[in-house]
Amino acid sequence: MNILLPRVLKTLYRKEPISSFILVMGAVDAVMGGVGQRWSLFSFGLFIVSVSVILRWLQVQKAQPIVTQDRPRRYLPPSSAKTPLPLLTNDKSRRTPR
């Protein structure tokens, strides 16, 4: 568990650094308020954490999958398909000696 937790936190923090920063800031406020028995700071920290979790959840819900095309992608224009391409030959007599 000790090895798994930092890896999970790193991947989550790298995906959305801004919302993760707000989440960490709210968690620190909540911990400081709980330890120091400052209930207003504790409730503010919990509020910030809950807002950041809700915003992150809304961002995940908005994300739509990318639609792929069923047709193959063409790299040449259609007019170039009418003209034949030159043949590639391996002509050793044209090589320059080194």
Backbone φ and ψ of 67, nearest 5°: -85, 125
The amino acid sitting at 95 is R
For range 24-33, the mean pLDDT: 88
Which tens digits make up the pLDDT trace of 72-88?
666 766 665 566 667 77
Q: How far apart, in whole angstroms, are the C-alpha atoms of residue 30 and residue 1?
A: 24
Q: Tell me, what's the pLDDT at 22?
A: 83
For range 8-32, the mean pLDDT: 80
Q: Please tell me the chain's helix, strand, coil percentages from 3-state DSSP, rounded to the nearest 5.
A: 65, 0, 35
Element (H, E) at 8: helix 4-15
